[in-house]
């Protein structure tokens, strides 16, 4: 028995093609895969914001291109404004929408947003409500203005976006006790709040402006 088998290692596999067996090499050379650094990656066009209009042309929401395309393909909405970019399927190319309109009227209640981390950050524009600095969503947490240990509830009026530094500084205290001040009083996410955010995002896309009553 060879030293290779004695050491407990498997012998190299052989491949027979009707002739003498050929030993396979230990290492197969592979072409290196180049991964661009995170900083150079562009945001996906499928995540770009799209303004959603009611059937009456009233702005009611902002969604992503991916969701807008689904609504269009289902026949629920149609594109009113498009961008230069296109997305391709196996059979056709579709221009990326910038503004879509629902084909049937939808009643929008006064309070149309569920209480969630995503909506709190959206309301507060991804800005820490203590230091006033804007952060990526991954670098923000939620803070109870009145700590839960003192009966503070998880509500629109008691939850704010907060960076980790300010969150650690505040701890289990009120802002006054921690010597910090709220940038603005937290309020529920109303249709009026939603319209303000639409106008804020709309500054990036001129196609939105005529629908946002500029």
Listing DSSP states for 32-90 in one string gives PPP---GGGPPPPGGGSEEEEE-TTS-EEEEEEHHHHHHHHHTTSEEEEEEEEEEEE-S
Same domain, 124 and 103: no
Of the candidates 152, 127, 129, the residue with the CA atom closest to the CA atom of residue 137 = 127
* Same domain? 58 vs 103: yes
Extract the runs of DSSP E, i.e. beta strands, from the chain: 14-15, 22-23, 49-53, 59-64, 77-88, 93-102, 140-144, 159-163
Does any domain span residue 20?
A: no
Task: Tell me what pLDDT residue 137 has.
Answer: 86
Range of the domain at 212: 46-109+190-214
- Higher-confidence residue of 23 and 186: namely 186
Q: How many structural domains does the chain have? A: 2
- Once rounded to an integer, what is the mean pLDDT over residues 88-99? 86
Q: Note whether residue 33 is domain-resident.
A: no
User: What is the arithmetic mean of pLDDT over 80-93?
Assistant: 85
For residue 21, what pLDDT band results from cuts at 50, 70 and 90? very low
Same structural domain for residues 86 and 121? no
Query: How big is the CA angle at 117 (ends 148 and 173), to the nearest 5 degrees?
Result: 25
Q: pLDDT value at position 18? A: 44
Q: How confident is the model at residue 55 (pLDDT cuts 50, 70, 90)?
A: very high
105 and 194 belong to one structural domain: yes
**Mean pLDDT computed over 88-117:** 84
Residue 31: per-residue pLDDT: 44
Residues of the chain with pLDDT > 90, as a percent, come to 44
How far apart (Å, rounded) are the C-alpha atoms in residues 124 and 105?
29
Q: Give me the percent of the chain exceeding a pLDDT of 70.
A: 71
Question: Has residue 28 been placed in a domain?
Answer: no
Instruction: Clarify whether residues 100 and 197 are in a common domain.
Output: yes
Are residues 155 and 54 part of one domain? no
d(CA 204, CA 212): 13
Looking at the structure, do residues 168 and 142 belong to the same domain, yes or no? yes
**What pLDDT does 29 receive?**
42
Kindly tell me if the per-residue pLDDT of 13 is higher than 60.
Answer: no
Assess whether 101 and 144 both reside in one domain. no
- Does the pLDDT at position 75 exceed 50? yes
Yes or no: say if 48 and 69 are a contact pair by the CB < 8 Å rule: no
Mean per-residue pLDDT, 20-28: 44
Model pLDDT for residues 156-211, shown as the tens digit of each residue: 999 999 999 999 999 999 999 999 999 999 988 776 667 777 777 766 778 888 88
Q: Range with the lowest mean pLDDT among 34-43, 81-90, 201-210?
A: 34-43
pLDDT at 104: 96
**Is residue 65 situated within a structural domain?**
yes
Say whether pTM exceeds 0.75.
no
């Amino acid at each position: 028995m060879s030293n290779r088998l004695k050491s407990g290692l498997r012998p190299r596999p052989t491949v027979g093609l009707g002739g003498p067996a050929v030993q396979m090499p230990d290492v197969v050379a592979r072409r290196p895969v180049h991964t661009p650094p995170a900083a150079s990656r562009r945001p996906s066009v499928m995540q770009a914001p799209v303004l959603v209009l009611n059937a009456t042309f009233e702005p009611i929401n902002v969604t992503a291109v991916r969701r807008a395309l689904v609504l269009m393909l289902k026949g629920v909405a149609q594109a009113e404004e498009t961008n230069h970019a296109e997305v391709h399927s196996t059979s056709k190319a579709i221009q990326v929408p910038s503004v879509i309109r629902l084909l049937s009227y939808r009643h929008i209640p006064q309070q149309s947003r569920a209480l969630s981390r995503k909506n709190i950050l959206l309301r507060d524009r991804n800005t820490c409500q203590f230091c006033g600095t804007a952060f990526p969503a991954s670098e923000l947490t939620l803070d109870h203005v009145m700590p839960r240990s003192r009966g503070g509830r998880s509500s629109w009026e008691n939850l704010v976006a907060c960076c980790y530094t300010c969150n650690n500084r505040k701890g289990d205290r009120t802002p006054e006790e921690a010597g910090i001040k709220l940038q603005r009083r937290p309020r529920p996410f109303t249709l009026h709040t939603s319209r303000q955010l639409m106008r804020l995002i709309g500054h990036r896309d001129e196609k939105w402006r005529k629908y946002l009553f500029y």
